[in-house]
Amino acid sequence: MSSFFHRTRHGLTRGLTAGLLCLTPGCGFEAPAPETADGATLRFISEGAIDTLDPQGTSWLVDFRIIECVFEPLLRADPAGGPLQPAAATALPRVSPDGRTYTFTLRSDAKWSNGDPLRSTDFVYAWRRAIMPDLGADYSGLFMEITGAHDFATWRAQQLGRVAAGELNADTAWADARQRFADTVGLRTPDDQTLVVELRRPVAYFNELAAFAAFMPLHEVSARASATVDVGSGTVSLGSGYFTDPASLVGNGPYRLTRWAFKQELVVDANPHYWARERVTNTRVIAQVVVDPATALLRYHNGEADWYPGVPTAAPQSAELVAAGRAGERHDVHDGPAAGTYFYLFNCNPQVSGQPNPLADPQVRRALSMAVDRRLLVENVTRLNQPVAKTFVPPDILPGYTPPVEAGMEFNPDAARALLAEAGFPNGEGLTGLSVLVNSGGGHDVPALAIANMWRTHLGLSVSVEEVEKTAFRERRRSQDFTIARGGWYGDYRDPTTFLDMLRTADGNNDMKYTNPEYDALLQKAADQLDPAARFTTLARAEALMLRDQPLMPLYGYTNLELFDPARLQGLYPNPWNVRRLDAVEVVAADGE
């Protein structure tokens, strides 16, 4: 999914005495139950600040955790690993024989948190917003499988250009855009409870998309009341407070927003109008924003939080936690493989800050990647022995797809130095101005310093590490204000394109600005292939081509690490895809509470 905002800044013992927390095997630690818990509140630690509750406006896991409480898609994934389940829809869609038309029927008792009935037009409103270039949605590319969506987005971008040039009136242009969308894009609403989706080609994983947060609806009436049209640019946007003000935000999920203290705490309470409200096992969910991992662990160990889902795998204490859990000394430690990859992005633009960019040369990028000893990184730095990553798509998570491991970069300092010399930087001479941009509060400085040291040792390069706050980090990545930046990606749906589409030239998540027409053509070829095996073969060719260009440097496969007492929290189901149903998690009161 989505970029995973992640992990820890400092080791646990900084600022804590050794006797305060016992993490090593043999401690026999059991998380204490909170003194005032009543079994109706689920409290968890958010390892980063929640930026937005806009389903179409984010790609961050910390946001999606709450978005999935406040909004509900047509279908839902099963945390226990079962098949997709109906959610706002009554059942899985009816699919036409040619695989191009999906018909969803909405629940007649589905309502918004203000009591209004959920309507099929609410989905069309949200999806149109994701398709339009106005928002710049990270996941707009997923909607381009809908008939006419790509042509409309292109037309709208040209129209906005004419508004900015003073050739068109902004309000008139917006009225024309609404009409053109209705006339040309394959979304139809025969009645309030029927949504018909026409695709430009069969999409084997479309039901997976229908379960993804970006495809959630918005309450059209309140959203339209909040929307404004910018006179100068013609772009349409929702009011800045719509997704943050409990009095404004209207959701259709099991919870409703009741309090948001930015960068501190967010509270959602059970939605009395939710169609399955009797199944909601917690009347309240509280997300406690704690960026510093030492503080987060202290809160958890003191019983102030029931669940810590983002324990920092990059930090020294993580190895000790995992060891204690695997030794049977702690029953609240849960670790396992994740459908995600930790990597570094290389800025591929010809220039950075007005200066020639050496990283625009694939030879330089390959040299940097070949000088990183990933095995040493996971054994001696993270100490979790995560699977070394040579590909972007993790192996063994998608049946039928075999990532092209042979195309990945091997650790070979001699070959790396030869590549740098061919690129015009013998012994690293002249290759200056490089830095690794990481976000604070995630422990990313630890592996970054280790990798910078490898580049100094093997290539003679001086590469600095720059640590900034998450919001600034995100904005600098989106604006390509970096040379090298850390990245992390979890799959959003079960298909290789959930990873590979990120590197498509026009994709909203392509922060490295990688562009290769041959790569784009292979993705398009795969999109048009109906045979699953042939399609996966084409996608593997695309991934191999991308790996040879090395716009990103895979480092290791993610390991999910979380803390919760399974006797106290039931129904959480740790899983590689980070699928959660917090409304189905039961907080069991301890004896004596």
pLDDT tens across 371-389, in order?
Answer: 999 999 999 998 889 999 9
pLDDT over 90 for what percent of the chain? 82
pLDDT over 70 for what percent of the chain? 92
Residue 33 DSSP symbol: P
- Whose CA is closest to 438, among 425, 457, 451? 451
- Band of the pLDDT at 495, cuts 50, 70, 90? very high
pLDDT tens across 253-275, in order?
Answer: 999 999 999 999 999 999 999 99
Q: What are 174's strand-pairing partners?
A: none
What distance in Å separates the CA atoms of residue 287 and residue 508, rounded to the nearest whole number? Answer: 28
Strands 41-46 and 284-289: parallel
- Whose CA is closest to 482, among 437, 515, 513, 452? 437
Judged against a pLDDT cut of 70, whether residue 194 lies above it is answered with yes
- Are residues 316 and 12 in contact, defined by beta-carbon separation less than 8 angstroms? yes
What distance in Å separates the CA atoms of residue 263 and residue 548, rounded to the nearest whole number? Answer: 40
pLDDT tens across 242-251, in order?
Answer: 999 999 999 9
Distance of CA 392 to the CA centre of its chain: 15
Three-class SS of residue 325? helix
- Are residues 300 and 308 in contact, defined by beta-carbon separation less than 8 angstroms? yes
How far lies 331's CA from each of 26, 32, 327, 449, in Å?
A: 12, 12, 10, 33
* Exposure letters 122-142 (e unless 16+ CB within 10 A, then b): bbbbbbbbbbbbbbebbbbbb
If residue 570 lies in a helix (H) or strand (E), which one and from where to where?
strand 569-570
Whole-number pLDDT of residue 81: 87
120-134, 301-315, 547-561: segment of lowest average pLDDT: 301-315
In the chain, the amino acid numbered 571 is G
- Are residues 88 and 252 in contact, defined by beta-carbon separation less than 8 angstroms? yes
Whole-number pLDDT of residue 10: 26
Whole-number pLDDT of residue 319: 85
What's this model's pTM, rounded to 2 decimal places?
0.82
Please say whether the dihedral angle defined by the alpha carbons of residues 567, 335, 493 and 514, taken in this order, is positive or negative: positive
Judged against a pLDDT cut of 80, whether residue 21 lies above it is answered with no
Three-class SS of residue 326? helix
Whole-number pLDDT of residue 591: 55
Across 364-477, where does the E strand assignment appear?
Answer: 435-439, 464-468
What distance in Å separates the CA atoms of residue 344 and residue 512, rounded to the nearest whole number? Answer: 10
Judged against a pLDDT cut of 50, whether residue 209 lies above it is answered with yes
Judged against a pLDDT cut of 50, whether residue 449 lies above it is answered with yes
- Are residues 268 and 69 in contact, defined by beta-carbon separation less than 8 angstroms? yes
* Exposure letters 394-411 (e unless 16+ CB within 10 A, then b): beebbeebebbeebbbeb
Judged against a pLDDT cut of 50, whether residue 50 lies above it is answered with yes
What distance in Å separates the CA atoms of residue 425 and residue 265, rounded to the nearest whole number? Answer: 49
Burial class (CB in 10 A: 0-12, 13-18, 19+), 18: exposed
- Whose CA is closest to 480, among 513, 431, 524? 513
Judged against a pLDDT cut of 80, whether residue 569 lies above it is answered with yes
- Are residues 10 and 447 in contact, defined by beta-carbon separation less than 8 angstroms? no
Whole-number pLDDT of residue 312: 80
pLDDT tens across 58-91, in order?
Answer: 988 899 999 999 999 999 999 988 999 999 999 9
Give the residue carrying structure tokens 């959630």. Answer: 216
Residue 376 DSSP symbol: H
Residue 277 DSSP symbol: G
Whole-number pLDDT of residue 115: 98
If residue 194 lies in a helix (H) or strand (E), which one and from where to where?
strand 194-198
What distance in Å separates the CA atoms of residue 65 and residue 287, rounded to the nearest whole number? Answer: 9
Whole-number pLDDT of residue 212: 96
Three-class DSSP labels, 117-177: ECCHHHHHHHHHHHHCCCCCCCCHHHHHHECCHHHHHHHHHHHHHHHHCCCCCHHHHHHHH
Q: What are 267's strand-pairing partners?
A: 259, 286
Question: Tokens in use for 329?
Answer: 């000394």
Residues whose CB falls within 8 Å of the CB of residue 190, separated by 6 or more in sequence, listed in order: 196
What distance in Å separates the CA atoms of residue 452 and residue 450, rounded to the nearest whole number? Answer: 5
Judged against a pLDDT cut of 50, whether residue 30 lies above it is answered with no
Residue ranges of domains in the chain, CATH in brackets: 41-65+245-336+562-587 (3.40.190.10), 72-237 (3.90.76.10), 338-559 (3.10.105.10)
Whole-number pLDDT of residue 294: 86
User: What mean pLDDT comes out for the span 113-128?
Assistant: 98
Residue 380 DSSP symbol: I
Strands 75-76 and 236-237: unpaired
| Region of residue 592 (left: phi > 0; alpha: psi -120 to 50; beta: else) | left
- Whose CA is closest to 503, among 447, 554, 436, 467? 554
Dihedral angle over CA of 167, 170, 173, 177, nearest 10: 140
